[in-house]
Structure 1
């Protein structure tokens, strides 16, 4: 039985994972032909060291910010786009939404349709920053159709502008507004919902390219961890994951459900983790038609992690089914070997294309 665990615990609180992989497949990637050689299936259980949960998601607070500034982060997320509502029956409603990576900060400002330009967007963002007790160091945005306008708007503000699919808190908020807010507004048009999916969400996604040999994992395993480990009182938090990040978790999901993920085993775990930390890791996707395991980064990049044979394709299908059941939630763990702590850990969510 293969175990992914830490044999000797250090005094410093760290993320310790002992994973016996339930119906998981550990497979070897050869760097010459890039064809995986599967091992036998192995069983799964999870044990994770306990730690204090720092991620918290506030309830929706329309048109204003929350006052819980202690939990607001310096990493903000921005969207500027039209909504499925017609103002006075003829003009689209345009909004600027600003939140932080924890989802505690929420600001919604409407924008007249004749003032949808970089100058007005910059003005609104500067006003929000001036009114906030916590100032942003980074502002992420995911909307490909608005890339140029938002990029120009943020260029004169003292922040790092990052086009990225790692706008997890913003995606949660947009889904809530699409479900609970816009349908109740006068002028709502259901036929306009989801228009962002027609080229509005992301830039054209590039064809997946192979990772450099120096960063390629030797083995990969599809695994699962209980959602409870990511909730308050669970064992995984931002203080013990080392390199990586944790996206906000939808508290309506059942705590006893399992979050699907992929463990990457490599002798170059630190190098791979450092490289991933320098990118905007958005998630993993199993392309069942092409039989590929693909990592998505930034706003439009894809990297080919592995080719899948028949047995691995079945495991990948289960991974995708589990991911869909959890609203796109999944994780990546990078480790040197089965007996080591993760060098990097990312809890991610696949962002819908119809926001």
Structure 2
């Protein structure tokens, strides 16, 4: 099975003996399955003085993490775009494929926990907000013609049903334990199902673009798929008020599910298998 790591390298709200902010490397394993035990995921942390912040130091930290991990990563994801050059260079030097991604759910949750329970207990802690990584929303691009769905529909599944994903027939998928999002089993989780006679090629393409989340935008009204660090793709135009209402209801349900939702691809509405099924969560990285 593929092993994916999530990586952050940034300053923390703690000062060193020279009154400079400490930096920290955080590495954690991405869960790829809805039933993955969170406690089984590999994690590694290493502090670094500000005078040693460079790609060589980060590469060394990655090598230290690999020495302790049960398995080296097949690829690494990172969300902090202002560190792109340094992270990319370090991963390339360590011979690990690296991708900017907003699919860093475990890392985001871990940083929040450390901001609340770890850094405040350290000497020379200085309370501050987690630095913003928000950028202006990307302009959505049209999907390649060969990947446009012929039909689509909104759907809703209870969280408990999603826990059965490993039993479904799915060609391309990725999920995460719902406890990461603090969802109860009875929570309704909204989603979008795309239907296409080219379902498998569409799912294969989507599996390679670091899916982030689905979103309704109203100018002009359409459904957008956000991916990578700052990519966005138009999935469907919504010229009718009835469709816009459905999309707003989808957004409301997504908010009640702590941003969790799903995207599925099938060949037709009667299909009993999925070409693709991804559990997604819209994170607030601002």
Category of TM-score, reference length = shorter chain? 0.7 to 0.9
C-alpha displacement of 1:160: 1.4
How many corresponding residue pairs? 275
Q: CA 1:240–1:171 in structure 2 vs 1: closer, same or farther (change >3 Å)?
A: farther
Structure with larger Rg? 1
Tell me, in whole angstroms, the C-alpha distance in 2 between the residues paired with 1:227 and 1:208.
29
2:21 to 87, 92, 96: 92
Gaps of 5+ in 1: 1-71
TM norm structure 2? 0.88
Q: CA 1:180–1:250 in structure 2 vs 1: closer, same or farther (change >3 Å)?
A: farther
> Could you report, residue by residue, the CA deviation over 1:89-146 in whole angstroms, capped at 9, with x for unpaired residues?
9422311110011251111111111111111111111111122221111111111010
TM norm structure 1? 0.72
2:268 to 316, 337, 340: 337
Give yes or no for the alignment of 1:316 onto 2:252. no
**Alpha carbon RMSD of aligned pairs, Å?**
2.2
Tell me, in whole angstroms, the C-alpha distance in 2 between the residues paired with 1:262 and 1:225.
11
Tell me, in whole angstroms, the C-alpha distance in 1 between the residues paired with 2:210 and 2:166.
19
Give yes or no for the alignment of 1:229 onto 2:161. yes
Aligned to 2:226: 296
Q: CA 1:92–1:324 in structure 2 vs 1: closer, same or farther (change >3 Å)?
A: farther
Q: CA 1:346–1:123 in structure 2 vs 1: closer, same or farther (change >3 Å)?
A: same
- Which stretch shifts more, 125-134 or 237-246? 237-246
Aligned to 1:193: 129
Q: Which runs of 4+ in 1 moved over 6 A?
A: none
1:116 to 53, 67, 76: 53
Aligned to 1:154: 91
SS in structure 2 at match of 1:347 = strand
| Structure whose residues are more often helix by fraction | 2
SS in structure 2 at match of 1:82 = strand
Aligned to 1:271: 201
SS in structure 2 at match of 1:237 = helix
Q: CA 1:95–1:239 in structure 2 vs 1: closer, same or farther (change >3 Å)?
A: farther
Gaps of 5+ in 2: 32-37
Aligned to 1:243: 172
Contact 1:238 1:246 in 2 (8 A): no
Aligned to 2:34: none
Contact 1:287 1:294 in 2 (8 A): yes
Tell me, in whole angstroms, the C-alpha distance in 2 between the residues paired with 1:313 and 1:184.
48
Q: CA 1:185–1:241 in structure 2 vs 1: closer, same or farther (change >3 Å)?
A: farther
Give yes or no for the alignment of 1:353 onto 2:282. no
Tell me, in whole angstroms, the C-alpha distance in 2 between the residues paired with 1:298 and 1:318.
26
Tell me, in whole angstroms, the C-alpha distance in 1 between the residues paired with 2:190 and 2:78.
26
> Could you report, residue by residue, the CA deviation over 1:20-43 in whole angstroms, capped at 9, with x for unpaired residues?
xxxxxxxxxxxxxxxxxxxxxxxx
